[in-house]
Amino acid sequence: MGSISLSHVNKSFGDVQVIPDISLEINDGEFVVFVGPSGCGKSTLLRLIAGLEDTTSGHIRLDGQDVTDAPPARRGLAMVFQSYALYPHMSVRDNIAFPLKMAKTPQAEIDRKVDYAARTLNLASYLDRKPRALSGGQRQRVAIGRAIVREPKAFLFDEPLSNLDAALRVNMRLEITELHQQLKTTMIYVTHDQVEAMTMADRIVVLNAGNVEQFGSPLDLYRKPANRFVAGFIGSPRMNFIDGAEAGKHDAHSIGVRPEHIRLSTSEGAWQGVVNVSEQLGSDTFLHVQTDFGLLTVRTDGDQTFTHGDKVWLTPDPNRIYKFDAAGQAI
C-alpha cells in the first residue's frame, strides 16, 4: 500500500515562499512525475514527502496516516538521489544491505533480499565491487537496489537520470518503467525533462513557481493543456504562440499551435513565411519559419530539404488550435 495525500502543504525558507499551497492525491501503485522548470519547487516537494524538509504548514498523509512530523526513516519511503549517494567505502553488497542492517534484519534474510535485488537489476557479478569501480548506469542500479530491498510504500526519484549520457538515459528510463510494472509500487519521479515525464508517467504534475499548473495523464496534458504554461512546457519542440490580431480572429488573447499540427506547402496556405533555420534529424525536419507574427517552428518529415531563404506557406490544423485568454488560461 502506498497512497500519498498532500493537503494545503506550504513550505517557506525564511521569507522565501517556495511552495505556497499544494494539495495532491496520489493513488496506490501510481507512477507520478513532478515536472517543471528548474527552481519550480519540484525537488522541495519531493523532499517534503520524504521528510528531509519540514513542512511550514499543511499535512502529508501516507495510507491515510498523518506523517507530517514523522522522521524520514519512519515513513517507509525509499529515495534515489541525483548523485546516487552511494556509500563509497562499502561494497555494492553492503550498500544494498545497509537499510536492512539498520533495520536489524537477520543476516540470512539480508542475503536473500540482496541477492534477489541484485538479480532483478543485473548486478549479481558486481556485488563485491566498490561503487567507484562501477559505471554511471551501474551506480544508478545500485541506488535503486538499495531502495528496493526495503520494500518501501513508495519510491521517490530525484532527477535520477540527469547524470547519465543520452543513450543510457533512454535505457534506464525503460528499466525504471519495467521495474514499476513488476513491483506495482507507488513511484514519484522528479525531472525537468518533459520527455521523461511523458514516457514514464501514469499521471504528471506540472509545477511552476511552487504551484500545480495541471495534474493529469500525459495525453491529457498534451491534448488539453489547462493554460499557456502547460501548453508550452509539454510537447517537443514547444508549442508556437501567436498574439495580437491573428489571435483575435479566433476570439482569443493568444493562440497556440504545435509544430506537428502545421501543414507545410510551397504554393498556398494561411500564413506566408521564409525559412530561417532547418534542423534535420533524419526522421523529422524542424523548420524555423519567419512570419509576420514571429518565428514559428514547424515539424515536417525528414525528406524535406528546405534551406535558409526558401518561401513557404503554413496552414494550422483548425481542430488543434489552442486558445488562451489574457490570463493565459485555456478557453
Binding positions for another protein, rule: CB under 8 A: 50-52, 71-73, 77-79, 81-83, 85-90, 98-99, 102-103, 146, 150
Q: What is the DSSP letter of 97?
A: H
Residue among 162 and 171 whose Cβ is closer to another protein: 162
The least distance separating another protein from the CB of residue 69, rounded to whole angstroms, comes to 15
The least distance separating another protein from the CB of residue 82, rounded to whole angstroms, comes to 7
Identify the three-state secondary structure at position 117. helix
How does strand 203-208 pair with strand 31-35?
parallel
Residue among 64 and 88 whose Cβ is closer to another protein: 88
Phi, psi of 112 (to 5 degrees): -65, -45
The least distance separating another protein from the CB of residue 55, rounded to whole angstroms, comes to 17
What's the CA gap between 3 and 5, in Å, rounded? Answer: 7
Compute the radius of gyration of the chain from its Cα atoms.
23
Amino acid present at 174: L
Three cell numbers, residue 184: 506495482
Amino acid present at 228: R
What's the CA gap between 268 and 227, in Å, rounded? Answer: 31
Residue among 70 and 209 whose Cβ is closer to another protein: 70
Three cell numbers, residue 165: 549520457
What's the CA gap between 103 and 86, in Å, rounded? Answer: 18
Residue among 34 and 215 whose Cβ is closer to another protein: 34
**257 in Cβ contact with 320 (< 8 Å):** yes
The least distance separating another protein from the CB of residue 11, rounded to whole angstroms, comes to 16
The least distance separating another protein from the CB of residue 161, rounded to whole angstroms, comes to 16
Residue among 152 and 210 whose Cβ is closer to another protein: 152
Residue among 74 and 320 whose Cβ is closer to another protein: 74
The least distance separating another protein from the CB of residue 100, rounded to whole angstroms, comes to 9
